[in-house]
């Protein structure tokens, strides 16, 4: 006999139909109680202790000094549980959230905290619904487990779905606005402005239509003003955006700066190429439209047409057969 079936039968006989579900809930609650003291135990921060021992640390009680301090991240104490411990995984998570538009320092912690909170909340709602459902009617254990666990899974993956949709929408907005931004940058450069001034102007002018692209141009201008090398700033933008068109644009500007060629000529050639790409994308979508409409046409056009064409004939045949029956 399967040991799991024996345990299931024993729990059902002892606590009723909800016995396995109650046992799983109690086990999870017990594990949380065991792990909670370890999670809430704050590790000693040697840097904070060193900072507290410096002169002027007594000004922390002064309200004016408190206003000058940065906002404290309440999730920082749980960073080791809400952030990947491997540097590669942490960098990948930060880059993914950065491409979705979340550039805060604690974005990774907020993301995993949202997953944890939504997963636990939806799991609790699922358990409540399973208990109400079992109290109203007889429900088997497998269905109760699905009612309880499925909302928790949905709540856990909801932040991931939201971030993926934000990332897709942001990249689409950048792809749509990039050709116009290049044309405007070309006009600014040919009018006598430098590349840095043209980037600032393009970021300001494209704010109304393409805010994501404007944010990237503003970040470039701020980093260049801060003294960062322009080539590295452009490469960081290419990595941060994750769009092939932007990566090609950055490569073009880097090569132009390396070989000393004219930036205006490079922008003119690349902007013309981007306009051709935009036309090709529109043609590709137009060519895909008949294929996408085929299924809708078959579902919503063919059945009504068959009813209109064949319906009268079927009705006439059925009437004729009814008249030919004996005794009619």
Domain that holds residue 100: 3-38+73-168
Residues 104 and 230 in one domain: no
Pair of tokens at residue 133: 């459902």
SS3 assignment for 248-296 = HHHHHHHHHHHHCCCHHHHHHHHHHHHHHHHHHHHHHHHHHHHHHHHHH
Q: How many Cβ atoms from other residues are within 10 Å of residue 207's Cβ?
A: 14
Query: Is residue 258 a part of any domain in this protein?
Result: yes
142 and 221 both lie in a single domain: no
Distance CA 26, CA 31 (A): 9
Do residues 26 and 101 share a domain?
Answer: yes
Residue 246 lies in a domain: yes
Could you read off the pLDDT of 20-61 as tens digits, one per residue? 767 777 776 676 767 656 655 555 555 555 555 555 544 444
The count of structural domains within the chain is 2
In a domain, 262, yes or no: yes
Counting every residue written for the chain, the total comes to 328
Q: What is the model's pLDDT at position 74?
A: 64
- The verdict on 114 and 160 lying in the same domain is yes
| Residue 236 and residue 204 share a domain | yes
- Is the domain of 17 the same as that of 82? yes
Answer with the one of 149, 168, 187 that is the final residue of a domain. Answer: 168
pLDDT, tens only, 210-247: 888 888 888 888 888 888 888 888 888 888 888 888 88
- Rounded Cα–Cα distance for residues 57 and 24 (Å): 50
Sign of CA dihedral 72, 74, 80, 84: negative
Mark whether 156 and 16 lie in a shared domain: yes
Using a 10 angstrom Cβ sphere, with 0-12 exposed, 13-18 middle and 19 or more buried, the burial of residue 274 is buried
By C-alpha distance, which of 124, 140, 127, 86 is closest to 108? 86
Query: Does a structural domain hold residue 50?
Result: no
107, 140: one domain: yes
- The residue among 133, 148, 168 that closes a domain is 168
Same domain, 15 and 164: yes
Task: Note whether 186 and 265 are within 8 A (CB).
Answer: no
- 182 shares its domain with 224: yes
The two tokens of residue 312 are: 């009268």
Residue 266 lies in a domain: yes
* pLDDT of the residue at 68: 42
Q: Are 130 and 269 members of one domain?
A: no
- In DSSP notation, 159-188 reads HHHHHHHHHHHHHHHHHHHHHHHHHHHHHH
Q: What is the pLDDT of residue 295?
A: 81
Asked whether residue 52 is assigned to any structural domain, the reply reads no
Task: Give domain status of residue 133, yes or no.
Answer: yes
Q: What is the pLDDT along the chain (328 residues), one digit of tens a residue?
A: 566 677 777 767 766 666 676 777 777 667 676 765 665 555 555 555 555 555 554 444 444 444 444 455 566 666 666 677 777 888 888 888 888 888 888 888 888 888 888 888 888 888 888 888 777 777 777 787 888 888 888 888 998 999 999 999 998 888 888 888 888 888 888 888 888 888 889 888 888 888 888 888 888 888 888 888 888 888 888 888 888 888 888 888 888 878 887 888 888 888 888 888 888 988 888 888 888 888 888 888 888 888 888 888 888 888 888 887 765 5
User: Looking at 101, 135, 168, which one is the last position of a domain?
Assistant: 168
For residues 9 and 147, state if they share a domain: yes
Note whether residue 147 is domain-resident. yes
């Amino acid at each position: 006999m399967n040991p799991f079936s024996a345990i299931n039968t024993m729990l059902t006989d002892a606590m009723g139909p909800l016995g396995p579900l109650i046992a799983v809930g109690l086990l999870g609650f017990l594990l949380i109680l065991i792990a909670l003291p370890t999670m809430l135990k704050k590790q000693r921060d040697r840097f904070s202790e060193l900072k507290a021992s410096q002169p002027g640390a007594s000004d922390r009680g002064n309200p004016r000094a408190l206003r000058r301090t940065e906002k404290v991240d309440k999730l920082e104490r749980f960073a080791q549980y809400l952030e990947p411990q491997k540097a590669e995984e942490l960098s990948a998570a930060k880059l993914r959230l950065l491409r979705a538009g979340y550039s805060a320092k604690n974005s990774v912690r907020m993301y995993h905290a949202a997953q944890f909170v939504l997963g636990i909340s939806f799991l609790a709602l699922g358990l409540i619904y399973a208990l109400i459902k079992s109290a109203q009617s007889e429900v088997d254990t497998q269905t109760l487990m699905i009612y309880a666990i499925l909302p928790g899974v949905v709540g856990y993956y909801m932040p991931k779905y939201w971030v993926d949709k934000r990332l897709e929408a942001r990249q689409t907005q950048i792809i749509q606005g990039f050709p116009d931004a290049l044309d405007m940058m070309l006009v600014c450069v040919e009018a006598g402005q430098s590349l840095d001034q043209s980037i600032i102007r393009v970021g300001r002018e494209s704010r109304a239509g393409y805010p994501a692209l404007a944010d990237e141009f503003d970040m470039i201008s701020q980093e260049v003003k801060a003294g960062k090398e322009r080539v590295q700033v452009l490469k960081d933008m290419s990595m941060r955006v994750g769009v092939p068109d932007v990566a090609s644009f950055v490569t073009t500007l880097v090569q132009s700066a390396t070989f000393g060629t004219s930036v205006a000529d490079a922008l003119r050639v690349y902007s013309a190429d981007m306009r051709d790409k935009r036309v090709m994308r529109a043609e590709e979508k137009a060519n895909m439209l008949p294929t996408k409409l085929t299924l809708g046409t078959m579902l919503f056009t063919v059945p009504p047409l068959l009813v209109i064409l064949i319906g009268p004939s079927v009705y006439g045949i059925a009437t004729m057969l009814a008249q030919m029956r004996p005794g009619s």
